[in-house]
Amino acid sequence: MSVSVRVPTILRTYTKGQAEVTAEGSTLKEVLADLEANHSGIQARILDDSGRIRRFVNVYVGDEDVRFADGLDTPTPQGVQVSIIPAVAGGC
């Protein structure tokens, strides 16, 4: 399954400045592993030492925050947009 991944500014050093890259995988976990295969080092910025999504990162598959879905096991259907976004506080 090929998906497109939107990369936040602070991770673009790993993607040679690209804001959007494609990756393969049928779950978020597989997509991140494929990202890592092509952009070495990027996964450790998104996941902590115990392999969980870092607490100040929000990951969306389509419009869904994966914490409302199955986390790293969230399915990533063909062509879906995956977004990695730093958490932002303040704004009511």
Partner 1 sequence: MALTATESATSVTDSFGSAVALSCRECGARYDLGPVFACIECFGPLEVAYDFGRITRESIARGPNNIWRYKALLPVPADVEDLPNMNPGQTPLVRADRLAAELGLRSLYVKDDSGNPTHSFKDRVVAMAVEAARTFGFTTLSCSSTGNLAGAVGAAAARAGFRSCVFIPAGLEEGKVVMAAVYGGQLVAIDGTYDDVNRFCSELIGDPAGEDWGFVNVNLRPYYAEGSKTLAYEIAEQLGWRVPDQIIIPIASGSQLTKIDKGFQELIKLGLVEDRPYRVFGAQATGCSPVARAWENGHDVIQPVRPDTIAKSLAIGNPADGPYVLDICRRTGGAVEHVSDSEIVDSIRLLARTEGVFAETAGGVTTGVLRKLLADGVLDPEAETVVLNTGDGLKTLNAVSGTGVTATIKPSLGAFKEAGLL
The residues that touch ligand PLP, with contacts defined as CB under 6 A, are 90, 92
Nearer to partner 1, 10 or 37 (CB): 10
The whole-angstrom separation of Cα 90 and Cα 72 is 27
Spatial CA neighbour of 57 closest among 27, 26, 88: 88
Binding track, positions 42-81, relative to partner 1; x by CB under 8 A? ---x--------xxxxx-x--x-x-xx-------------
The span from the CA of 82 to the CA of 36, in Å, is 15
Tokens of 26: 């049928």
- For residue 36, report the phi and psi dihedrals to the nearest 5 degrees: -60, -40
Number of residues that bind partner 1 (CB under 8 A): 27
- From partner 1, ligand PLP, none, interface partner of 85 (C-beta below 5 to 8 A by class): partner 1
Question: Contact positions toward partner 1, by CB under 8 A?
Answer: 6-10, 13, 19, 45, 54-58, 60, 63, 65, 67-68, 83, 85-92
